Structure 1
């Protein structure tokens, strides 16, 4: 016969209420937690999630919604979100959506709400305030990562895109590059505009007027990275350094440089983004902008947990984290 919560409480030497509190994500004394966990393992106790959900009106499930399950950023942050939620007793339902479909995000949000999730973590690319109407109506806690949604009032965890772009562009200019190309994402997306803002700010700081044709903004795909690098190198006056502001953009740009036989940094200086693995195996080592994906995922998950447990019910919080530059050997003074 399957063990019950009463059996767990008796074996652990605590009350049924204490066991229930821990199983539902509440805080209990560390010695009680250890005793309960030991009792659960010894009795092979399994929580009846359906019954618990009916009683508590909580499913201990969180929806995670990102534009693409093939996207490096989304997958990297997702693993840390899932781990933090699991450590706190929550399971996840993972969905992606087509950011180019005007109804894509709202349809997936409806699916998650129909699954009775307790909260949602979302990377809202091309998402409008009206797409969130169902979430607002049901009062489901929601936390954004990467970008926010204009006019909405939800917690968000982002990086200082302006600052990291300014830092990388300034580094290139200090090396003597006055023609720095940049590959960024789609126009109108806040991460794109912030990175362009940092790029422009760095030029202004050094009294340089940037050339508009050196800014390539389509999307953050490998295809865009490939085509963007091709476009920059076919300009009558091509850049002497290029910053690719995204993982897939970096991969696509490197593929094109390899295809045409151009060497970094002999033929062109180069700074990528988010691709530490490629940076380490590339020779010479690439200079890379790195987002704190573990911190982003953990912070977003913990903020959501605070909302779901009603430990925080205040105004929307915006946590802005800093990216860093991992300096390699891919930026040198331009040939004269």
Structure 2
């Protein structure tokens, strides 16, 4: 196995300079190129354990997500992995599955593995163990969840703003809108509901009980609700997640109505999936890539003992369908 001395002999660069380069210190471009070429030719593999002991760092980032099968989470993880690979960090990934005891257990396991920083995605604000993460002796960043004490940086999609904007347009352009709301409640959903309420307040609209339909996630209740809404003459439906959007579109079609023209459908989802299916839905897409970039930037700054913003909202992108666009 090649050593630093072998690289020095091959490249003509001193052992000390090579050591500094391997520890992330920039050298003259000419020397860096010589070292890179020697490493490539010798198939050199750094001793990460020795490096970690010397620098008192594991060069690993712990990520505790809600669910692995969640589309947003999987996209965020993929983006973060690429960003941290480039920065020389390895990701340790696990999920809390929206369970407080699981969250507490997995959090402890990541800390036991001496991660240099933690990224926590969509934890419940009410969980005691989540409320205490600001007391941990390492950098922590919360994604899509907020803590009252604001002791850790928070990076979030601006779902409330986007929700308010789309619902305002629905109230302006359609006569009888309905809203399908999941029975589950987390910080993200609360922000989307806050946007609905803000839009109604600004337009002087009070929703009636038959306009708000509560549906269970993972069931076909959203699809089943459409038939009843159609009979009552509703001309638009706002949904708060992608799964319900798909069900509503199918429900509208099965009622013999045209999506968009007869019944406008709007809500949160994943643009490329809906667009590939050619579904005429006004879509709010969370800015996954930009969130990942901000999370990585924040973590790396914290590791470098730099100041960071305590709370960042990143704008969602809205894909408008013509039924809700301004003429």
Same fold by TM-score greater than 0.5: yes
**Per the alignment, do residues 233 and 193 of structure 1 end up closer, same or farther by CA in structure 2, a change over 3 Å counting?**
farther
In the alignment, is residue 303 of structure 1 matched against residue 293 of structure 2? Answer: no
Partner of 1:214: 211
**2:153 and 2:31 mapped to 1: Cα distance?**
33
Change (3 A) 1:199 1:18: farther
| Partner of residue 67, structure 2 | 68
For 1:12-66, what per-residue CA distance to the aligned partner results, in whole angstroms no more than 9, with x for missing partners?
Answer: 4545454444434555555554443322212111012222222222111111111
Match of 1:264 among 259, 282, 286: 259
Distance 1:3 1:228 in 2: 61
SS at match of 1:280: helix
Aligned mates of 2:159, 2:70 — CA distance in 1: 18
Q: Is the 8 A contact 2:154 2:312 kept in 1?
A: yes
Matches within 5 A, 1:1-336: 2-25=1-24, 31-99=30-98, 101-128=99-126, 130-132=128-130, 138-184=136-182, 186-187=184-185, 189-216=186-213, 221-223=217-219, 226-231=220-225, 233-234=227-228, 237=232, 239-257=234-252, 262-310=257-305, 312=306, 314=307, 317-329=310-322
Q: How many residues align?
A: 325
**How far apart are the structure 1 equivalents of 2:149 and 2:95?**
23
Instruction: Please say which of residues 22-31 and 176-185 is displaced more in the overlay.
Output: 22-31
Shift of 1:254: 3.7
Distance in 1, matches of 2:34 and 2:117, equals 29
- Structure 2 CA distance, aligned partners of 1:249 and 1:9? 60
RMSD of aligned residue pairs (Cα, Å): 3.0
Select between 59-68 and 14-23 the one with higher mean Cα deviation.
14-23
- Residues 17, 153 of structure 1: CA spacing in aligned structure 2 closer, same or farther, 3 A cutoff? farther
In 2: Cα distance, 1:36 partner to 1:185 partner: 58
- C-alpha distance in 2, partners of 1:228/1:166? 21
Residues 218-259 of structure 1 deviation map (CA, whole Å, 9 limit, x = unaligned): 67x443xx3134336435746321122223332344454456
Tell me how far 1:294 sits from its aligned partner.
0.5
1:24/1:216 CA distance change after superposition, 3 Å:
farther
State the shift of 1:288 in Å. 0.9
Return the TM-score normalized by structure 1. Answer: 0.84
Over 3 Å counting, the alpha-carbon distance change for 1:9 and 1:319 in structure 2 is: farther
| Equivalent pair of 2:144/2:187 in contact (CA under 8 Å) | no
Q: Secondary structure at the match of 1:144?
A: strand
Check the 8 A contact 1:154/1:316 in 2, yes or no.
no
- The runs of 5 or more residues in structure 1 that have no matched partner are none
For residues 225 and 247 of structure 2, what CA distance do their matches in structure 1 show?
12
Which stretch of the first structure deviates more once superposed, 150-159 or 109-118?
150-159
Shift of 1:73: 0.8
Unmatched tracts of structure 2, length 5 or more: none
Partner SS state of residue 198, structure 2: helix
